[in-house]
Homo-oligomer: A and B are copies of this chain.
């Protein structure tokens, strides 16, 4: 087959692009920075979305939908927020086209200029808090636990499929609470939901922490995050949950009567994950033969390929495969029987390897005679001949095993790539030679953080929130005292 993949060792970045495009996840589009998510990639996203959506609903959240457009003036109402988002946004200035009087095509009708420009939402805090003002009067109206699945636009200058696109799909939770304590608890709870999702469904281990001030969401008091490690030793922020304090309530004047009948500003959180997770998934697990997808969210869990000569053999195999397929479906396993005779078995093997289908079954006339089938697992590429008796249960267990194995393998790699550094030379050497997370002391100032970033491109990914790394020490760059190691890495 012609679908050659650039090896990781040769060009990691090209390897990633090859996987996304040749694995049929996405394509570039005619619009700068925007991608087309192809059916195979979109089914993967649907599976991720559905799993997350169940977790959100199980924790008491409901979905709603707010406008795509945000009046320009709304952005300015929260000072930090406008600094963060005004620089890279799509601005709607007109509402009509007209025929070009000079000839062909259409032009913007200058008479259809909006009084106030509209921004295509880069995130929805402002429009949502402007709405919550009408929804909240008393403590009885709280909490509000709303989530939105939506598209957002940030006019990034350098884009990469899934990882950084001008338009992307995401969910954004926006909650409103009567107390600071409850809002902080919500932000931490949703961080836990994200971590559970990443580890249990994506098989991607994550570190939980809080961002340093300079890496905070524009408008947040605290930004919690989960950080994953890619195979090239770079970190990837896989989800964030923000405690917003009363910043947006104050910006949009959202007050409530508390139980003591006093007016108070509402406490807020917001939290989101996006199609960026698809990029994380690809980079965490795949190999030089193609995608490797975890069974729990794979668009297709099992493919069956017949190997036959002549219609008689084909008919016998068909009959058996239909039995197997029915049994697998009964167990809730997605399965495809690829008996398309335009392509040979070898082509199909490579194709499904490329697409990362977790289990491939192949069956020929001799297998049938011996009552066996060939089972190949995508994660280790191991093949074995397995009895057809009880094959469905065997496959079900194998899928569980693959899910566990993928997580363990990624976790071993990640754990091997968390390294302590106690001075600057060690730090720089580790970054250059090993990569991964470097656990080091920092003096807590934005100046030192910035200096480290400028000299090494490494950023503080997060400050652990589980107490690890709490100890006296000295900042690797400034030598000033520090009470806590933080996690540095180069990152996507």
Chain A residues within 8 Å of B, Cβ to Cβ: 27, 29-31, 34-39, 42-43, 45-46, 62-76, 82, 86-99, 104-106, 108, 117-120, 127, 130-131, 134, 140, 146, 150-151, 153, 155, 167, 169, 342
Whether the pair B90, A92 counts as a contact (CB closer than 8 A) is yes
Chain B residue with minimal CB distance to A154? B95
User: Nearest 4 pairs between A and B by C-beta?
Assistant: A34-B67, A39-B62, A86-B97, A37-B65
Whether the pair A69, B106 counts as a contact (CB closer than 8 A) is no
Which of B46, B86, B90, B134 has a CB less than 8 Å from the CB of A106? B86
Contacts of A118 in B (CB 8 A): 31, 90
> In the bound complex, how far is the Cα of B62 from the Cα of A46, in angstroms?
11
> In the bound complex, how far is the Cα of B62 from the Cα of A97, in angstroms?
33
Whether the pair A155, B34 counts as a contact (CB closer than 8 A) is no
Whether the pair A89, B93 counts as a contact (CB closer than 8 A) is no
> In the bound complex, how far is the Cα of B90 from the Cα of A108, in angstroms?
10
A-B contact pairs, 17 of them (CB 8 A): A31-B69, A31-B71, A34-B67, A37-B65, A42-B63, A45-B65, A67-B167, A68-B120, A68-B167, A72-B97, A72-B105, A86-B96, A92-B93, A92-B120, A93-B93, A93-B108, A96-B155
> In the bound complex, how far is the Cα of B150 from the Cα of A68, in angstroms?
11
Query: A445 to nearest B CB, angstroms?
Result: 27
> In the bound complex, how far is the Cα of B37 from the Cα of A127, in angstroms?
13
Query: A211 to nearest B CB, angstroms?
Result: 25
Whether the pair A90, B69 counts as a contact (CB closer than 8 A) is yes
Which of B87, B130, B131 has a CB less than 8 Å from the CB of A97? B87
> In the bound complex, how far is the Cα of B30 from the Cα of A95, in angstroms?
17
Contacts of A62 in B (CB 8 A): 39, 42-43
Q: A39-B63, A95-B89, A98-B86 are in contact. Are A131 and B34 (CB under 8 A)?
A: no
Q: A108-B93, A127-B30 are in contact. Are A38 and B64 (CB under 8 A)?
A: yes
Contacts of A130 in B (CB 8 A): 30
Whether the pair B74, A30 counts as a contact (CB closer than 8 A) is yes
> In the bound complex, how far is the Cα of B181 from the Cα of A37, in angstroms?
29
